[in-house]
Amino acid sequence: MTISAVAVTGLWLVVMAQFPSQRHAPVRLAVWATMLLLAAIGTLDLPAIGTQLDAASGLPNLADVTQHVLAIGATTLALYCVEQVFGRPEPPGRWVARARTVLPAAAVTALIVLFAVSPARTHPTDSKLYTDFPMQYAAHPEVIAYWLIFAVYLSTTFAVTARLAWRYGRRARRSLLGTGLQLTAAGMVAGLCYLGYGTAVVAARAAGVQGAFITTAPAVIQGLVGALIVLVAVGGVLPAARRWAVVRQATRYWSLRQLYPLWAGLCQAVPGIALDPVPVWADRLDPRDLQVRLYRRVIEIRDGYMALTPVDVPGIEDLVRAASGPHELTAADRATLAAATQLELARRAELRGDARLAVAGTATLPPANLEFLAGDNLDSEVRLLRTVATNWTTVTRAAEQIERRQSGEGQSDRGQSGEGQSGEGQSDRGRSSGGRAS
């Protein structure tokens, strides 16, 4: 109870704090409305609030019906938000668009009518054994119909929303938007588990089953519903959180920490790029001027890369793909990491003192990501460099494989050259010996 109350209070605080920034854009307003409905559902789910509503209205189980109706509205809005932001695989036809408007209203109307003709309208539910009235009155056909309409509508919407949110969340990768979408997908999965488990409980009660499966149902269902509300709420709030000052500062600090190994490695090869070299411990403990320090770090990394000659390696993107192992890379990430691998080879050559790569040249970087050389702004440059830092293991693995291959080819060439010279010497000695014998 205490945990649920704290979670609901936090959700209401977020809802109220987000309202001023959400009222002008339709999609943002829909997101805010979804959060509002989730907060209302969580509030009614608290036993003290739900009991008071039932007592004040004179209708037992009104809180349950209200939660179910609000859940249909919240899931419909959530699906609308996901589709408006990312689009559908194909545009809906006229009948599909009309059905998507009519179905929620029809489902809500059916729930209200079935509740009105069921015994749940006049008899309270034992909250110690059942979380929803359909589980106590499952022996009545109208209650079974009520639950089936509710479960089928929500499960269909949950499944579609989870698929879209997960797909685009993976594409967004390590970002607040990507994390928010993946949390939303996880919330939809928790909702599907709730509906599946609740359907099993309703079927068991309709069949007259008793025992531990029924007595433990309230705790399991409360946990699944709580996970659904919290995950979807956090997933909806995260994309907007990047505008919060504390989140911006934390993101800048984390970017500084991620880019430090890149910067330190380039400082070893090109010492002149660092305006104010700092040891790792000082960089980690200093919370000041994060924006300026991040800007300088990006500029110094760029200066270091521009001082190197990218090593031209045929088929380098295939080598990067192989070095990434089971981790799947997008085409843009492969191009970025291929460019980073070329420059890492140049950095290592500079540290070895390879004169062929000591002066910057005009070698061609892989196509498809020109922002790797010069991003449109600081944020785009940080994103690209963070991609390199996050996948640094892939870059170093690819560079080591290329160096081993080049080393093996060099030894093979020297061996063939030595064998040729040795054979020519033996032939000359043979001809000389033959001349003396004659």
> Which DSSP string do the residues of 78-146 spell out, in sequence order?
HHHHHHHHH--SS---HHHHHHHHHHHHHHHHHHHHHHHTSGGGTS---TTT-SSHHHHSTTSHHHHHH
Angstrom distances, CA of residue 416 to CA of 64, 376, 410, 411, 426 = 84, 50, 10, 9, 15
Cα 299 from Cα 263, distance rounded (Å) = 10
Reading phi first (left if > 0) and then psi (alpha if -120 to 50, else beta), residue 291 is in: alpha
pLDDT at 374 over 70: no
Distances in Å between the alpha carbon of 434 and those of 424, 425, 428, 429, 438? 15, 14, 10, 9, 6
Backbone φ, ψ for residue 285 (5° rounding)? -90, -10
Considering the entire predicted model, what is its pTM?
0.64
Quote the CA–CA distance of 403 and 313 in Å, as a whole number.
11
Angle between helices 94-116 and 62-86 (to 10 degrees): 170
Q: Which pLDDT belongs to residue 414? A: 56
The stretches of 173-244 forming alpha helices (DSSP H) are 176-206, 212-215, 217-241
Q: What is the mean pLDDT of the chain?
A: 80
At a CB cut-off of 8 Å and minimum separation 6, what does 56 contact? Answer: none
Radius of gyration of the chain (CA): 32
Quote the pLDDT of residue 70: 94
215 vs 221: CA distance, rounded Å: 11
Q: Is the pLDDT of residue 368 over 50?
A: no
In the predicted model, what is the mean pLDDT of residues 149-164?
A: 91
**What is the rounded CA–CA span in Å between residue 42 and residue 174?**
29
pLDDT at 61 over 60: yes
Least confident range of 18-22, 197-201, 239-243: 18-22
C-beta of residue 129 within 8 angstroms of C-beta of residue 215:
yes
* pLDDT for 261 beyond 80: yes
The number of angstroms, rounded, from the C-alpha of 75 to the middle of its chain's C-alpha atoms is 20
First to last CA, the chain: 112
The pLDDT of residue 239 is above 90: no
Alpha-carbon gap, residue 348 to 357, rounded angstroms: 10
pLDDT of residue 5: 78
Q: Give the per-residue pLDDT at 421.
A: 52
- The better pLDDT of the pair 116, 408 is held by 116
| Segment 149-168 mean pLDDT | 89
Please report, as a single letter, which amino acid is at residue 185: A
Number of CB atoms found within 10 A of residue 329's CB: 19
Q: Is the pLDDT of residue 97 over 70?
A: no
Length of the chain: 438
Taking residue 243's Cβ as centre, other Cβ atoms within 10 Å add up to 10
Q: Is the pLDDT of residue 238 over 60?
A: yes
Task: Say how far apart CA 209 and CA 231 lie, in whole Å.
Answer: 32
DSSP H or E run through 277:
none
Query: Rounded to an integer, what distance in angstroms lies between the CA atom of residue 110 and that of residue 430?
Result: 105
Q: In angstroms, how far apart are the furthest CA atoms of the chain?
A: 130
Instruction: Name the most confidently modeled range: 198-207, 247-256, 310-319, 422-431.
Output: 198-207
